[in-house]
Amino acid sequence: MVRHRRAALCLVSLGVAAVTACGSGSSKQTRSTGQTGPSSGSSSGSSSGSSSGSSSAPKQQPASASQSTPPSAAGVYAADGPNMLVAATRGVPSRVYVPNHGDGTITVIDPASKRVIDTFTSGPGTQHVIPAWDLRTLYAANDEGGNSLTPVDPTTGRRGGPNIGVSDPYNMYFTPDGRYAIVIEEAEHKLTFRDPHTFRIQDTTHVTCSGVNHVDFSADGAYFIATCEFDGHLVKVDTASHRVLGYLAIGGMPQDIKIDPAGKVWYVSDMQRGGVHLIDGDALKEIGFVSTGPEAHGLYPSRDASRLYISNRGGPADNGSVSVLDFATRSVVATWPIPAPSTPDMGGVSADGQTLWLSGRRTNEVYAIDTTSGRLVARIPVGHEPHGLAVWPQPGRYSLGHTGILR
């Protein structure tokens, strides 16, 4: 199925239970109202079909850092503190990699000068730039006709080789043990578990919810939860067996998902409702909702793991902002407006924790925000429809994927 995600048209009709276009652009598939929800009986099935991967992928070498969880009040994010780089990332040039969905290119920004230093071709429909589990390669996920991953060498800031054939890679994650890459085949309603070196399919899990796209893992890695933006559901999957454990209907248009430092509460952004759902992941039930701003989208913990930065894409007026949520009180303690027109979407926090970088999805720019003052310190023109940018390097022992979920 071919999708067309024209992010410039992706607006939520405020005050009306309808969506004019999907959360990460526009799509032929929109959320239907009055839906009964998917059955929780879906399960994984082993795939023995032909591989859509390629042996040309760069070989991963394990990061030298220990995989044991260091004790800290930061809990889940204990290894992600300011400048806590490991051997695999020390000395790697600091860059911001911006996937321009509308152009099929990657723009590279030097965060020190806040200037564009390069742009190179990736592939049609580039969505996210994703750090590999071992932290040594970045991959641009090209879906919507691209059907490929573009390897990027972060030591040079350039392509790391030819594109790798992978079907419908809207997004990609890695199991905590590094055994599998999980390609999110949003249009195909499935998760493919692939060899993280060759990207050959090892197993496939089909889901019955619509628009599966963002994932986070439990504190112990035993399960993960994915959002399904087109029908307002979450799906919980067992990491070891790849079996669907259940679905939860939360309504709206769920986007990003992040677990709190204690590993108890999961935050799910909702573009349609303009806020975050609070989820008990173990029980798979909703326990609260916090309003933030129009088109709540990306979720990024601060480097000290005390706060969660929530990008609000701005609604029809393109009046974007960032909400700052305190993990301890589960409440918004600050809102940082970005002068309109602004459409903050996906991004990440700098290694030192001082700057939040976000793509401007409908305004073709990138924002740099000072996390101490909340002040916008730069807005940098890039290509068309910038989406899931990656700030690299980042602290952490290994990557779980997306634009940089590190543990």
Question: What is the tens place of the pLDDT at every residue in 117-136?
Answer: 999 999 999 999 999 999 99
Amino acid 73: pLDDT: 64
Q: How buried is residue 47: exposed, middle or buried, by Cβ count under 10 Å (0-12/13-18/19+)?
A: middle
pLDDT in tens, 241-250: 999 999 999 9
Question: Where does the pLDDT of residue 68 fall: very low under 50, low under 70, confident under 90, or very high at 90 and above?
Answer: very low
pLDDT of residue 282 exceeding 60, the answer is yes
How do the domains of the chain map onto residue ranges?
Answer: 7-28+51-61+72-392
- 18 by Cβ neighbours in 10 Å (0-12 / 13-18 / 19+) ranks as exposed
pLDDT of residue 74: 80
pLDDT in tens, 361-404: 999 999 999 999 999 999 999 999 999 999 999 999 999 999 99
Nearest to 358 by CA among 334, 340, 342, 339: 342
Could you read off the pLDDT of 177-231 as tens digits, one per residue?
999 999 999 999 999 999 999 999 999 999 999 999 999 999 999 999 999 999 9
Q: Write the class of the CATH domain 7-28+51-61+72-392.
A: mainly beta
CA–CA separation, 373 and 260 (whole Å): 23
Higher confidence at residue 74 or residue 73?
74
Whole-model pTM over 0.85: yes
Q: Indicate whether 279 pLDDT > 90.
A: yes
* Cα 178 to Cα 401: distance, rounded to the nearest angstrom: 11
Residue burial 371-385, b: 16+ Cβ < 10 Å; e: rest: beebebebbbebbeb
